[in-house]
Structures are given as C-alpha cells and as structure tokens.
Amino acid sequence: MIFNILQPFTGIATDVINYFIIRRLWHFCNVECLYYLNMSVQKEIKRITTHNLQAMKTQGEKISMLTAYDYSMARILDEAGIDILLVGDSASNVMAGHETTLPITLNEMIYHAASVVRAVKRALVVVDLPFGSYQGSSRVALESTIRIMKESGAHAVKLEGGAEVGDSVRRILSAGVPVMGHLGLTPQSIYKFGTYTVRAKEEAEAEKLFEDAHLLQELGCFAIVLEKIPAALTKRVSESLIIPTIGIGGGRDADGQVLVTHDLLGITKEFQPRFLRRYLNLFDTIKEAVGEYIKDVKSRDFPSEKEQY
C-alpha cells in the first residue's frame, strides 16, 4: 500500500498508520454525509404552501394530491411526501357509506379535517366545504370556512362551481383563506347532472368551464380541480391559466393529479372508472389477514405463550 513508504521514517507500524488515515477518512465521510442528510431532511419537513404549488407549476414539476380523512392514513401519506392532502367530502362515500357526497355535515368534515391536521407535518391540508355550507350566501360560506379553519387547523378550503359561487369565493378570500376551485364533474350537483359521466364534451359546456376557470383565477383561487373532463380541454385550460390545475380523470396535462386514496389502494372494490390506477388490492389483502386472525382465535392458536403476560 502507498502508506508503506512512511514506515521507515516514522518507525510506526504500517497498520497503525493505515488505521489513523482510514479513521480520518471515515470521520470526514460521516460529516459530509450528515451534512447532506440534514439538508435533505430539512427539505423533507418543509411545509408546502400555496406559493410552493405555484412555483411547481412554473418549474414544470407535477403536483401530487390524495384524499385523507383520518390520522393514521394521513400520517402515512404525509411521510410518503404527498404535496396536498384533501379532506374531501368523498368521506361521505368511503368513510360513511353514503351513496353521494350530499349528506356529510360541516361538523363531520371538521372532525375528519382535525384528525388529518394532527398527523401532517409537510402537506398542505385542503378541506371541502360540504354541500349546504356555502351555497346559501357568501356570508354562510365565510362562516363555514371560519369554523373549518378555527376548529380543524386546516390550511385552505375547496368548493365546487364557477360563476355561481363567485361571491362566496371572493368573501372567503377576503378573510385571508386560500381557496381551491373545482370544475367539471362536481359531485355535489349529481342530481342536476343525473350521471357521473364525463362533463364538458359539448362546446357550450366546455366554454363555460374555460370561462369559470379564468374567473376563479381572477378572483384569487390558488388552484382548480378539473374532474372528469376531456383531456384536450384540461390541456387548454391548464396552458391558459397561471395557477395550477389538479386533474382527476382529466388526463395527463393537468399540473397535478388527485385520486381518492381508498380507490388507489384498492380498499374500495366496485368503483372502476377508466382514470383510476389501483396500486394495491388492500380489500383482499386485509380480508385474507383478518381471515387468518379469525382462524387463529377459533383454533386457540392466538394468543400463544409468548403473546401473554
């Protein structure tokens, strides 16, 4: 080894010299590693703001968004690095088993939102204003928003609609609360639409959506969800807006994507729209695990000697 040349001059054994040199190198590497690790950890725990989302659009980085309704799931999604957690009124379907999003109440949304906020260190938490909590008047909308913000600690609200809810959007924003819009398939209007099929295929509806998107931007919304509309319309709207769009069934040209977490994980089974990519089949995985547990309890295999005090 190269260090051997030192031996005649120092009289110290080669192994000892090597030991100190290697130790020095090791220490240096550790300091360097920790420095870079710290940098990335700091980056990791930085809280996402609406300004970060705008910067992501400007820099061409896609925004990731998922729904969350409870503490445990929100913790996992936040640690995984999701940018936005939406406490969606889809809780009405996936958590409460209702057929539509209409029955969920403001109190129930606040309960879900507060649970999510307690778990989150990094993601921006957006809460859906539930049906009936903002359509009455802009004053009602502001009162509902203030309750959500005060009682849950969330960071922003989302509401469905364009020009019809313009006054409410304006009033909520004037209180300093960031607002996310939602256009296209707006599930709170399901009884008006009659079906959950793709929206804005006809020119008149596409034009109205385009104008509504621009109105929401002018009013000051920080982002807009585009649900189940043709990919070409998503592209046109997204390219013409400065603020980010988040698509669900809107194709690849939205500035970000959102899915209902229970759909992505395969906890829900029957819901199979074309836009859904399932990453797991948790329904069957959990069912199998619970089946094993039931078997073990019945056969007295559980608990074992080691699993008792």
Q: Which residues are catalytic?
A: 227
Which two three-digit tokens encode residue 286? 């959990």
Peptide bond preceding 187 in cis form (omega within 30 of 0):
no
Q: Are 243 and 223 in contact (CB under 8 A)?
A: yes
| Residue 145 binds ligand KIV, judged by CB under 6 A | no
Which two three-digit tokens encode residue 224? 């807009």
Q: CA-to-CA distance for 258 and 72, rounded, in angstroms?
A: 19
What residues contact 152, with CB distance under 8 A and at least 6 apart? Answer: 87, 110, 113, 114, 116, 117, 127
Which two three-digit tokens encode residue 220? 């000051």
| Residue 248 binds ligand KIV, judged by CB under 6 A | yes
Q: CA-to-CA distance for 186 and 168, rounded, in angstroms?
A: 17
Interface residue with ligand KIV, options 78, 83, 89, 255 (CB under 6 A):
89
Tell me which stretch binds ligand KIV (CB under 6 A): 7-15, 45-53, 74-82, 86-94: 86-94
Please identify, using beta-carbon distances, which residue of 80 and 290 lies nearer to ligand KIV: 80
Q: CA-to-CA distance for 204 and 58, rounded, in angstroms?
A: 30
Least Å distance between CB 67 and ligand KIV? 5
Interface residue with ligand KIV, options 260, 263, 267, 268 (CB under 6 A):
260
Among the listed residues 99, 95, 134, 93, the one whose alpha carbon sits nearest the alpha carbon of residue 112? 95
Least Å distance between CB 285 and ligand KIV? 23
Interface residue with ligand KIV, options 53, 159, 258, 265 (CB under 6 A):
258
Least Å distance between CB 89 and ligand KIV? 5
Residues 187-246 that bind ligand KIV (CB under 6 A): 225, 227
Residues 56-85 that bind ligand KIV (CB under 6 A): 67
Please identify, using beta-carbon distances, which residue of 277 and 298 lies nearer to ligand KIV: 277
Interface residue with ligand KIV, options 77, 83, 127, 128 (CB under 6 A):
128
What residues contact 244, with CB distance under 8 A and at least 6 apart? Answer: 53, 54, 56, 57, 63, 222, 223, 224, 238, 255, 256
Interface residue with ligand KIV, options 63, 83, 88, 113 (CB under 6 A):
88
Among the listed residues 42, 246, 263, the one whose alpha carbon sits nearest the alpha carbon of residue 126? 246
Residues 23-62 that bind ligand KIV (CB under 6 A): none
| Residue 165 binds ligand KIV, judged by CB under 6 A | no
Residues that bind ligand KIV (CB under 6 A): 67, 86, 88-90, 128, 225, 227, 248, 258, 260
